[in-house]
A and B are shown apart, each in its own frame.
Chain A
Amino acid sequence: MTDAAELAAAPRAFVAAAAGCGKTHLISEAVCRFGTRRDLVLTHTHAGVQALRNKIQRIENRVAEVAVETIAAWALRYASAFPKTSGLQTQQPKTNLEWNCVYAAARKILLVKHVRDVLKASYSGVYVDEYQDCSTEQHALLLALADAIPTRLLGDPLQGIFDFGQNRPVNWELDVCANFAELSPITRPWRWETKNPQLGQWLASARQALLRGHPIHLDYPVRWVRLLSANPIGCQVSECVGIARREPGSVVAIHNVANQVHYLAGRLLGFYQCAEPIELEDLFQNGMLIETSHGPARAAAVIDFAEKCMTRVGPALRQACNAYRLGDIPRTRAGLLADVHGALRRVAEDDSLSTVIDALTVLRHFPNAIMYRRELFNEMVRGLRASILGSNVSLQDSLWIIRNRSRFSGRRVARCVVGTTLLVKGLEFDHAIILNAEDMDLNDLYVALTRGSRSLTVFSSAQTLTPMQRRNRGTA
């Protein structure tokens, strides 16, 4: 097992790190105790940057300085410092295509001798975390970086799950192993050491089985629950609710089909909130709809939004919603929903966004409704408030600011969440529940299996799993 000293001494190497085996700790120790002058640590997300910075801050008597950045921010900084030479087109990239230009520009600028001198004057070496998530463009840039200063990569080929849509991640064999020296992988299951060491051991052997393409047997200490073909959802729901009630710690329920997640959340009696992606497209799309509609159409948009976040609202307000869509304002009736209708009417009559906030506040307390996308709902309310306070700021811009703040300051995840592996990767919970294990491939399955440190519950029709190889989408 590689230790911090070996890692710090390697000029060009990679370390495969199993989940929960102290990768962040290893990097921190390497830079703090064995760094020489100033080291650079690169990762992918701001959450990752925060986590590393916190770890490093807590180590006293650091022998060297450390700079932690996302690959994106670092590449943009260098590429935009010499825009003519790097060929950088835009200093505020938004789309994937624009970001790929940034990486290409940064790579180009690293070819300039003087920039390499600046690099050597700035850092004694660089560490790159979560290398399995690097795109081919980022990999090309980091190869150029490795030519200039000592570079060490850390990652887990078994946790590479970001290969969808326009993303093209690295191929571990062809891109990493071929270009860097291998240091022995770190495999000690620290995450489970004090909480459930047997689970840790089980996961270590499961990893080996997965790497070799062998089946996995869901025996002790894993809790296997047979998935019955009749009423599979109902059974899962009661299990999840049961665990949420029984166990005091954090719980994650993992289902890999995105729209099933919302449906399930609605069935989980309010115990679980949906994990939301950082980009939260739904927030911006619905915000746009609300902002650009006026009168009765806006009331309809508000109802649609509430319907996405909570149960009951949809069916109960169907008629009213249809009326609003047609441009009518339905009659207000007395009774349980009187204040809801009253608030919606005011949305239709008064163009100010404060009526929307009032309406959402009332809807939050819709009788017998369960809120399962609380993060989405609350961000929208915050955005609306910010837009009203800053007089010239549009709702879209306010939502962007609010979301950005959350991105950097960290979001408080609810005690129990339900989400896809994409959304919960890298996070740690006390208890993990896997809902559709048989639909997952090797990587998704491994990520899902390693989320809980105290217990693991798996639903499947058979007690043995034979997950498929992940379709090889990376290129060299």
Chain B
Amino acid sequence: MRIHHLKIENFRGIRHLDWKPEGSVICLIGPGDSTKTTVIEAIDLVLSPRWEIGFDDSDFYAGDTDSSIVITATVGELPDALLADNKFGLDIRGWSGTQGIHDEPEDEDDKVLTIELTVDSSLEPEWTVINDRNPDGRRISHRDRQLLGVLKLGQYVDRHFTWGSGTDLLRLTGEPADLRGLLAEAGRAARAAITPENVPLLEAGATKAERLAGDFGVVPKERYQPGLDIQRVNIGQGVIALHDGNVPLRRAGMGTKRLLALALQREAARDGGIVLVDEAENGLEPHRVRALVRKLRPEEGRGQVIMTSHSPVVIGELPASCLRIMRSNVGETTVSDVSASMQDIVRAASEALLGRKVIVCEGKTEVGFCRAFDRFWTNAGKEAFAYMGVVPVACEGSTASSRAVAIRKLGYSVCYLGDSDREITPTAETMRAAGIKVLVWADRLSIEGRVAVDLPWQELLEIVSLAFAEPGEESARASLAHQLGEHPDLAHSDFRSWHDSPELRNAIGRAAKEKGWFKRIGSGEKMGDIVCRCIQTIPATDLARNMEELRLWIDAND
């Protein structure tokens, strides 16, 4: 079973969605309120056998019950049972990868059915199978929808650990013909277990009641005694549940329950059903998340998995072609593919794709730097990166600009923060044309070089002391010596006595860059902290101006 085409109208946050979910494994990512979960819910509503759903006004887009909720799914790889001509065999349509839907199937097409769920202001849901030649549609019952094999791993999987009707457990048990008989037996056994001898206190109460009744002229036919009321002990199918020892599985942790529910569904839907997972990582440690994602890959190419995620672990575990970026704008939800060429970006910068605004940095130094500024700005009363969905991400120097363009193409707001000390391809012009905010350090300097030139001398010396701590004084001095050649200041053992000079500043900048003194996020942060402390004293510098522009970009609405 797979969905070839999904249309949603007027359902919760989605006024309109028209999407062709091609692919066996699909992971929807996007910022909060991009309607990811709503899409999963919608698919579950139209295809799963639930019928006891209560709709209310808030399920309609903008609460407007005059515009009916319409969810339409065109599904292929249909189970044989649905293809019989007394079911929906004569309603089939054809799906062509290139031409889309053909109302009457052609030989090269896949057979599909189009199922539509409509809810109007009466709040009564109606499920029908539709096609052009039968526009009123033919009702599809919840029993028939069961054959579609759609499982949603969500909060409420508890039902799947009982032998209730339509559950995978029941299907695995082979749907015994005499289920009712078995249940009746269980009921009788339960009643027999509560006999008066077992509960002497209750027996005493019953005897007292009998005596009191006698005072009022009420005479029992036999005698009064406690027992289980037949009507109230209704051992239905749903009451028999799977237990781990004495503990019912509904008490198990969510991660365990999800994995188990998935395992049962996989077995019961041998044809390959559709698995919907909202927040694949929910309740699972990273290693179990990875195991889950690996298990979700459909076997033998049949079936489909559609999930949402906020987890870099999940994204990292999947090929880029599985990802779909979701955006919602005034009710119009769009779903964009991520091309396979983005694979390395996905691996390297998975967190970026989970944000709204991405700062593409040339290296980890800049990322640390940004983090330091995030703290600085937050303390100054501005909104934090986390609040704005800003994610700084490090890209290997030469690839940074092409990645910036690629990420921009996916609809993210992008700022490029980098050195200007070499030619970049695509060029800054190209990036600006693509709508990217480009911030480069003046004078063809790297960030270390810029810091070394713009910072007050004392603070610069503090930064040098960082380098003396890590990677170490000797190696730092050696790098400086390499840059400067012989220099009177270097001979001094105490670096605090060095004199401020352009040559020394440049040397510090170059050494820091070439030797990678701050080439880790942590060290970049420390450097950044020092810069933040004095940034307000150097407002005219390129450093300060660029950081101010960065902040303006962060705060802008787009």
Contact = CB atoms under 8 A, between A and B. Distances in A.
Interface of A: 38, 67, 77-78, 81-85, 112-114, 117-119, 121-122
B84 A122 contact: yes
B91 to A, nearest CB: 8
Nearest to A80: B133
Q: A interface, by DSSP: helix, strand, loop or mixed?
A: helix
Contacts of A84: 103-104
B83 A122 contact: yes
A117 B104 contact: no
9 contacts: A81-B91, A83-B133, A84-B104, A114-B94, A114-B105, A117-B111, A118-B83, A118-B85, A121-B89
Contacts of B85: 77-78, 118-119, 121-122
A313 to B, nearest CB: 52
A275 B106 CA distance: 49
B193 interface: no
Contacts of A113: 107
A436 B90 CA distance: 50
Contacts of A67: 86
Contact of A85 (B81, B104, B111): B104
Contact of A122 (B86, B105, B106): B86
A82 B86 CA distance: 15
Contact of B107 (A38, A112, A121, A122): A112
A121 B104 contact: no
Contacts of B80: 121
Contacts of B542: none
A122 B84 CA distance: 4
B114 to A, nearest CB: 15
B44 interface: no
B59 interface: no
Query: What are the 10 closest A-B residue pairs judged by CB atoms, nearest first?
Result: A118-B89, A121-B83, A81-B90, A122-B85, A122-B84, A114-B105, A85-B104, A82-B104, A121-B80, A121-B84
Interface residues of B, number: 19
Nearest to A37: B84
A39 B83 CA distance: 15
Given A78-B90, A81-B90, A83-B133, A118 B84 contact: yes
Given A84-B103, A84-B104, A85-B104, A114 B86 contact: no
A112 B105 CA distance: 8
Contacts of B91: 81
Nearest to A111: B107
A112 B89 CA distance: 13
A73 to B, nearest CB: 12
Nearest to A117: B83
Contacts of A81: 90-91, 133
A363 to B, nearest CB: 49
B262 interface: no
A34 to B, nearest CB: 20
B92 interface: yes
B351 interface: no
Contacts of A38: 84
B111 A114 contact: yes
A113 to B, nearest CB: 5
Interface string B68-106: 000000000000110111100111101000000001111
B332 interface: no
B109 to A, nearest CB: 7
Interface in B288-325: none
A78 B104 CA distance: 12
B109 A114 contact: yes
Nearest to A114: B105
Contacts of B106: 85, 112
A82 B84 CA distance: 15
A77 B90 contact: yes
Most buried by A among B83, B94, B103, B109: B83
A82 to B, nearest CB: 5
B92 A114 contact: yes
Contacts of B86: 67, 122
Given A38-B84, A83-B133, A118 B90 contact: yes
